[in-house]
Amino acid sequence: MNTVSQYISQLRTDFTKGELNEQMLEKTPDLQFEKWMNEAVKSEVTEVQAFNLSTVDAHHKPSSRILYLREFKNNEYCFFTNYQSRKGEQIFTNPHVCMLFFWPELQRQIRIEGVVARKEDADKSDDYFNSRPEESKIGAWSSPQSKVIKGREELLTLLEQNTEQFKDKKIPRPDFWGGYIVKAHYYEFWQGRMSRLHDRMIYTLQDNKWKIERLAP
Protein backbone atom coordinates (compact mmCIF):
# COMPACT_ATOMS: atom_id res chain seq x y z
CA MET A 1 0.00 0.00 0.00
CA ASN A 2 1.20 3.49 -0.82
CA THR A 3 2.22 5.72 2.04
CA VAL A 4 0.60 9.11 2.24
CA SER A 5 3.97 10.59 1.28
CA GLN A 6 3.97 8.53 -1.94
CA TYR A 7 0.33 9.47 -2.49
CA ILE A 8 0.91 13.21 -2.32
CA SER A 9 3.99 12.98 -4.52
CA GLN A 10 1.67 11.81 -7.31
CA LEU A 11 -0.98 14.50 -6.93
CA ARG A 12 -1.22 16.78 -9.96
CA THR A 13 -3.24 19.97 -10.43
CA ASP A 14 -4.17 21.52 -13.76
CA PHE A 15 -4.13 25.29 -13.53
CA THR A 16 -6.84 26.40 -15.94
CA LYS A 17 -9.14 28.74 -14.01
CA GLY A 18 -7.98 32.12 -15.26
CA GLU A 19 -5.31 34.42 -16.50
CA LEU A 20 -3.73 37.70 -15.47
CA ASN A 21 -2.16 40.09 -17.96
CA GLU A 22 -0.95 43.66 -18.12
CA GLN A 23 -4.24 44.93 -19.60
CA MET A 24 -6.34 43.35 -16.87
CA LEU A 25 -4.41 44.90 -13.98
CA GLU A 26 -5.63 47.89 -11.99
CA LYS A 27 -3.24 50.88 -11.85
CA THR A 28 -2.59 50.47 -8.15
CA PRO A 29 -2.22 47.23 -6.15
CA ASP A 30 -4.78 48.16 -3.48
CA LEU A 31 -7.43 48.34 -6.22
CA GLN A 32 -6.17 45.06 -7.69
CA PHE A 33 -6.33 43.45 -4.22
CA GLU A 34 -9.87 44.73 -3.73
CA LYS A 35 -10.90 43.39 -7.16
CA TRP A 36 -9.49 39.92 -6.44
CA MET A 37 -10.89 39.92 -2.89
CA ASN A 38 -14.32 40.75 -4.36
CA GLU A 39 -14.04 37.90 -6.85
CA ALA A 40 -12.91 35.53 -4.10
CA VAL A 41 -15.88 36.49 -1.91
CA LYS A 42 -18.27 36.02 -4.86
CA SER A 43 -16.69 32.62 -5.59
CA GLU A 44 -17.25 31.65 -1.94
CA VAL A 45 -13.57 30.90 -1.34
CA THR A 46 -13.21 29.11 1.99
CA GLU A 47 -11.77 31.30 4.77
CA VAL A 48 -11.21 34.06 2.23
CA GLN A 49 -10.04 36.44 4.97
CA ALA A 50 -7.32 34.07 6.24
CA PHE A 51 -3.70 34.78 5.36
CA ASN A 52 -0.28 33.60 6.36
CA LEU A 53 1.83 36.15 8.20
CA SER A 54 5.59 35.63 8.23
CA THR A 55 7.77 37.47 10.70
CA VAL A 56 11.50 37.33 11.40
CA ASP A 57 13.06 37.36 14.86
CA ALA A 58 16.12 39.19 16.17
CA HIS A 59 18.33 36.27 15.06
CA HIS A 60 16.94 36.44 11.47
CA LYS A 61 14.88 33.27 11.96
CA PRO A 62 11.48 33.35 10.25
CA SER A 63 8.18 32.00 11.55
CA SER A 64 4.67 31.92 10.09
CA ARG A 65 1.10 31.55 11.23
CA ILE A 66 -2.42 32.04 9.83
CA LEU A 67 -4.36 35.16 10.86
CA TYR A 68 -7.61 36.83 9.84
CA LEU A 69 -7.56 40.06 7.87
CA ARG A 70 -10.07 42.43 9.44
CA GLU A 71 -9.81 45.67 7.42
CA PHE A 72 -7.99 46.97 4.39
CA LYS A 73 -7.77 50.30 2.60
CA ASN A 74 -5.11 52.45 0.87
CA ASN A 75 -2.47 49.71 0.99
CA GLU A 76 -2.96 49.21 4.74
CA TYR A 77 -3.95 45.81 6.12
CA CYS A 78 -5.22 45.31 9.65
CA PHE A 79 -5.22 42.24 11.87
CA PHE A 80 -5.77 41.78 15.61
CA THR A 81 -3.74 39.74 18.05
CA ASN A 82 -1.96 39.58 21.39
CA TYR A 83 0.87 42.14 21.49
CA GLN A 84 2.86 39.86 23.83
CA SER A 85 2.63 36.82 21.54
CA ARG A 86 5.60 35.39 19.65
CA LYS A 87 4.64 37.39 16.55
CA GLY A 88 4.23 40.50 18.73
CA GLU A 89 7.77 40.09 20.11
CA GLN A 90 9.19 39.50 16.64
CA ILE A 91 7.40 42.53 15.19
CA PHE A 92 8.82 44.63 18.06
CA THR A 93 12.40 43.82 17.01
CA ASN A 94 11.77 43.56 13.26
CA PRO A 95 8.70 45.22 11.70
CA HIS A 96 9.26 43.74 8.22
CA VAL A 97 6.55 41.18 7.45
CA CYS A 98 5.10 39.20 4.57
CA MET A 99 1.41 38.36 4.15
CA LEU A 100 0.25 35.56 1.86
CA PHE A 101 -3.25 34.73 0.69
CA PHE A 102 -3.93 31.42 -1.11
CA TRP A 103 -7.29 30.96 -2.78
CA PRO A 104 -7.26 27.43 -4.27
CA GLU A 105 -10.79 27.73 -5.68
CA LEU A 106 -9.47 30.45 -8.02
CA GLN A 107 -5.90 29.11 -8.27
CA ARG A 108 -4.64 32.45 -7.01
CA GLN A 109 -2.00 33.59 -4.57
CA ILE A 110 -1.27 37.13 -3.38
CA ARG A 111 1.96 38.08 -1.66
CA ILE A 112 2.13 41.40 0.19
CA GLU A 113 5.30 42.67 1.84
CA GLY A 114 5.41 45.64 4.13
CA VAL A 115 6.20 47.21 7.45
CA VAL A 116 3.92 46.64 10.41
CA ALA A 117 3.09 48.83 13.40
CA ARG A 118 0.52 48.79 16.17
CA LYS A 119 -2.72 50.50 15.20
CA GLU A 120 -2.17 54.03 16.47
CA ASP A 121 -5.78 54.75 17.28
CA ALA A 122 -6.58 52.68 20.40
CA ASP A 123 -10.27 53.57 19.98
CA LYS A 124 -10.33 51.55 16.75
CA SER A 125 -8.96 48.49 18.56
CA ASP A 126 -11.60 49.08 21.25
CA ASP A 127 -14.34 49.26 18.59
CA TYR A 128 -13.27 45.96 17.06
CA PHE A 129 -12.84 44.30 20.47
CA ASN A 130 -16.32 45.47 21.51
CA SER A 131 -17.81 43.99 18.34
CA ARG A 132 -16.55 40.48 19.21
CA PRO A 133 -18.74 37.83 20.87
CA GLU A 134 -18.46 37.76 24.69
CA GLU A 135 -16.64 34.42 24.71
CA SER A 136 -13.97 35.78 22.36
CA LYS A 137 -13.48 38.76 24.67
CA ILE A 138 -13.06 36.51 27.73
CA GLY A 139 -10.82 34.26 25.60
CA ALA A 140 -8.46 37.17 24.86
CA TRP A 141 -8.14 37.86 28.61
CA SER A 142 -7.63 34.17 29.36
CA SER A 143 -4.80 33.29 26.94
CA PRO A 144 -1.17 34.24 27.59
CA GLN A 145 -0.74 33.68 23.85
CA SER A 146 2.42 31.80 22.76
CA LYS A 147 3.58 31.16 26.36
CA VAL A 148 4.16 27.59 27.61
CA ILE A 149 1.35 26.47 29.93
CA LYS A 150 1.13 23.47 32.25
CA GLY A 151 -2.01 22.06 30.64
CA ARG A 152 -5.48 22.90 29.30
CA GLU A 153 -6.63 23.07 32.91
CA GLU A 154 -4.65 26.30 33.35
CA LEU A 155 -6.63 27.93 30.51
CA LEU A 156 -9.95 26.74 31.90
CA THR A 157 -9.07 28.14 35.33
CA LEU A 158 -8.20 31.51 33.78
CA LEU A 159 -11.45 31.39 31.79
CA GLU A 160 -13.41 30.72 34.96
CA GLN A 161 -11.65 33.49 36.90
CA ASN A 162 -12.19 36.03 34.13
CA THR A 163 -15.82 35.02 33.62
CA GLU A 164 -16.34 35.67 37.34
CA GLN A 165 -14.37 38.94 37.33
CA PHE A 166 -16.34 40.40 34.39
CA LYS A 167 -19.74 39.02 35.41
CA ASP A 168 -22.43 41.63 34.63
CA LYS A 169 -19.72 44.09 33.55
CA LYS A 170 -18.63 45.45 30.19
CA ILE A 171 -15.51 43.50 29.25
CA PRO A 172 -12.74 45.99 28.41
CA ARG A 173 -10.07 45.37 25.79
CA PRO A 174 -6.90 44.06 27.47
CA ASP A 175 -4.01 46.49 26.92
CA PHE A 176 -1.92 43.53 25.65
CA TRP A 177 -4.36 42.89 22.79
CA GLY A 178 -5.13 45.02 19.72
CA GLY A 179 -4.63 45.83 16.09
CA TYR A 180 -1.62 45.95 13.83
CA ILE A 181 -1.44 47.68 10.46
CA VAL A 182 0.79 46.40 7.65
CA LYS A 183 1.75 49.20 5.27
CA ALA A 184 2.42 47.46 1.95
CA HIS A 185 5.28 48.37 -0.38
CA TYR A 186 5.40 45.22 -2.56
CA TYR A 187 2.72 42.99 -4.07
CA GLU A 188 2.68 39.90 -6.23
CA PHE A 189 -0.51 38.65 -7.86
CA TRP A 190 -0.18 35.02 -9.00
CA GLN A 191 -2.60 33.22 -11.28
CA GLY A 192 -2.05 29.52 -12.03
CA ARG A 193 -1.74 28.73 -15.77
CA MET A 194 -1.30 25.76 -18.07
CA SER A 195 2.06 23.92 -18.30
CA ARG A 196 3.18 25.65 -15.09
CA LEU A 197 3.60 28.91 -17.07
CA HIS A 198 1.83 30.87 -14.39
CA ASP A 199 1.15 34.61 -14.51
CA ARG A 200 3.04 36.60 -11.88
CA MET A 201 2.53 40.36 -11.82
CA ILE A 202 4.33 42.51 -9.28
CA TYR A 203 3.86 46.07 -8.04
CA THR A 204 6.82 47.81 -6.40
CA LEU A 205 6.73 51.26 -4.85
CA GLN A 206 9.34 53.51 -6.50
CA ASP A 207 9.46 57.27 -5.81
CA ASN A 208 5.91 57.08 -4.50
CA LYS A 209 4.66 55.49 -7.74
CA TRP A 210 3.68 51.88 -8.32
CA LYS A 211 5.77 50.17 -10.97
CA ILE A 212 4.26 47.07 -12.60
CA GLU A 213 6.41 44.19 -13.89
CA ARG A 214 5.98 40.52 -14.80
CA LEU A 215 8.03 37.73 -13.22
CA ALA A 216 8.86 34.37 -14.75
CA PRO A 217 6.90 31.60 -13.06
Ligand X SMILES: Cc1cc2nc3c(=O)[nH]c(=O)nc-3n(C[C@H](O)[C@H](O)[C@H](O)COP(=O)(O)O)c2cc1C
Applying CB under 6 A, the residues found at the interface with ligand X are 47, 50, 63, 65-68, 79-82, 85-87, 145-146
Quote the least distance from Cβ 167 to ligand X, whole Å: 25
The nearer residue to ligand X, 145 or 204, going by C-beta atoms, is 145
Q: What is the CA radius of gyration of the chain?
A: 20
* H/E stretch holding 92: helix 86-93
Are 185 and 178 spatial neighbours (Cβ–Cβ below 8 Å)? no
Q: CA 132: distance to chain centroid? A: 18
Please say which residue, 50 or 106, places its beta carbon nearer to ligand X.
50
**What are the phi and psi torsion angles at 13 (to 5°)?**
-120, 135
Distance in Å, CB of 51 to ligand X, minimum: 9
The CA distance from 141 to 177, in Å, is 9
Q: Which is nearer to ligand X, 105 or 213 (CB)?
A: 105
Nearest approach in angstroms of CB 9 to ligand X is 26
Relative to beta strand 108-118, strand 71-73 is unpaired
Give the residue numbers marked as catalytic. 196
